Amino acid sequence: MVYYSAMKRKKTLTPARADITSEQLKLSPEKDGISGIPAISHGLYTTNWQAMPEHIHEGCIELCFCSRGSLVFECEGKTYTLMPDNVFLTQPGDRHHLTTNHKGMRMYWLFFRYPRKGGSVLGLPARETAELVSRLKAIDAHDFAVDHGMRQLFRDIFKAYEELPHGAYRTLVLRTLILSILIQTIKSAGNRPSLKTIAKISDIAKMISRRPAHRFSIAEMAKHAKMSESYFTALFRSVVGLPPYAYLSKCRLDMARTRLAETTASVADIAHDLGFASPQHLATQFRKTYGLTPTEWRKQPNG
């Protein structure tokens, strides 16, 4: 199996420091008797990275969960931008690589190894293993939104390694958490709306991207889609990968970046024109997403 080359480049730290200063922390659940899970990793990046080597994973799924910030993958010639609470998943043989991530970005990886025919994973009986494997193999979407609870499941895995002694109980806790992640992944990847619904949501997303300065409200957008506000919000997140307001923020930041690159407008003017509360608000959101302030980004060679 081939892993991210980043695993060789980044420093491995103790679990106790995983959520504070780590750049990369790798766990090996198979050493706890959890078959089929060769690695789970957590990364918190203190610098901007670009252009990781292209690679594949033989016989193994790679599941990447973005917890904070943003990152960009390429897979089989297509580009995928991952935002918080989104998963990027590759099947065995999918040629892919991480092209860009930003300072402050936090993510988790989980590797699932397909068993041989008749084999077992996670200590499950043969029938349950076969069902789990069948459903994972049926996932053809590379990126999709997942429930916010996915973040806590990953955190609990690292907490279990930190707080629980090696033994049968820790194995039980880890197996339960990992299985919950896989089941949530299957459910999220398969929860696809109808083509008509996708078209409605896509039209609204295009409207937002064309008018990022407009103060859209959930009520306004839901009425336009002829849906309840809660149903619209859930469907928008499912189709677009972000909640409506998060997508609006992304469109505003994308437009801000374009204006920084193509005009000499001040940061204050850009913030005002795009509906940000203040230049400081724009700078804060810009840095969270791109790892640099607008002024710093504009000074970059590609700014």
What are the angstrom distances between the C-alpha of 146 and each of 67, 85, 141, 181?
11, 6, 13, 10
pLDDT digits (tens, 9 = 90+) for 111-135: 999 998 888 999 999 999 999 999 9
Amino acid at 247: Y
Better pLDDT: 125 or 303: 125
Given 190, 207, 227, the domain boundary residue is 190
Report the alpha-carbon distance of residue 30 to residue 113 in Å, rounded. 11
- Residue 64 burial (CB count, 10 A): 23
Token reading at 300: 């970059």
Q: Residue 86 forms beta bridges with which residues? A: 66, 145
In a domain, 229, yes or no: yes
101 and 34 fall within a common domain: yes
Residues 234, 163, single domain; the answer is no
Average pLDDT for 9-34: 56
And the tokens for 247? 């997508």
**Any idea which of 125-134, 186-195, 209-218, 234-243 has the lowest mean pLDDT?**
186-195
Residue 241 has pLDDT above 50, yes or no: yes
Same domain, 103 and 231: no
Domain boundary among 174, 190, 206: 190
Please count the structural domains in the chain.
2
Helix (H) or strand (E) segment spanning residue 100: strand 96-101
Predicted pLDDT at 128: 95
Residue 1 lies in a domain: no
| Mean pLDDT (whole number) for 32-38 | 91
Average pLDDT, the chain: 83
Strand partners, 89: 63
Domain containing residue 227: CATH number:
1.10.10.60
Q: Is residue 45 part of a domain?
A: yes
Residue 19 has what pLDDT?
Answer: 34
For residue 205, the enclosing domain spans 195-299
Kindly indicate the confidence band of residue 175, based on its pLDDT and cuts at 50, 70 and 90: very high
Can you give the pLDDT at residue 11? 34
Whether residue 231 lies inside any domain: the answer is: yes
Radius of gyration of the chain (CA): 21
Is residue 148 predicted with pLDDT exceeding 80?
A: no
Same structural domain, 61 and 178: yes
Identify whether the C-beta of residue 131 lies closer than 8 Å to the C-beta of residue 140.
Answer: no
User: How far apart are the C-alpha atoms of 186 and 166, rounded to whole Å?
Assistant: 29
Q: What phi-psi label fits residue 263: left (phi over 0), alpha (psi between -120 and 50 degrees) or beta?
A: beta
- Residues 300, 30: Cα–Cα separation, whole Å: 44
Q: In Å, what is the CA distance from 139 to each residue of 40, 53, 90, 92, 144?
A: 20, 24, 9, 12, 11
Residues 64 and 170 in one domain: yes
DSSP 3-state assignment of 102? coil
**What gap in Å lies between CA 128 and CA 148, rounded to an integer?**
26
**Domain-ending residue, one of 190, 220, 246:** 190
Query: How many other β-carbons are positioned within 10 Å of the β-carbon of residue 120?
Result: 15
pLDDT of 20 over the 70 cut: no
Identify whether residues 56 and 156 lie together within a single domain: yes
Q: Which of 231, 214, 215 is nearest to 223 (CA)?
A: 231
Q: How far apart are CA 65 and CA 145, in angstroms?
A: 10
Per-residue buried b or exposed e for 145-161, using 16+ beta carbons within 10 Å of the residue's own CB: bbeeebbebbbbbbbbb
Q: Is the pLDDT of residue 90 over 90?
A: yes
Q: Are 115 and 149 members of one domain?
A: yes
Q: What is the rounded average pLDDT of the residues 212-219?
A: 89
24-27 sheet: strands from edge to edge: 24-27, 39-44, 106-113, 60-68, 86-90, 143-145
Query: 196 is written with which tokens?
Result: 């008509």
> Same structural domain for residues 212 and 284?
yes
Please indicate, yes or no, whether residues 115 and 252 belong to a single structural domain of this protein. Answer: no
Task: List, for residues 263-293, the tens digit of each pLDDT value.
Answer: 989 999 999 999 888 989 999 888 888 888 8
* Same domain, yes or no: 199 and 287: yes
CATH code for the domain of 103: 2.60.120.280
pLDDT in tens, 41-82: 998 776 665 567 888 889 999 999 988 877 788 888 888 877
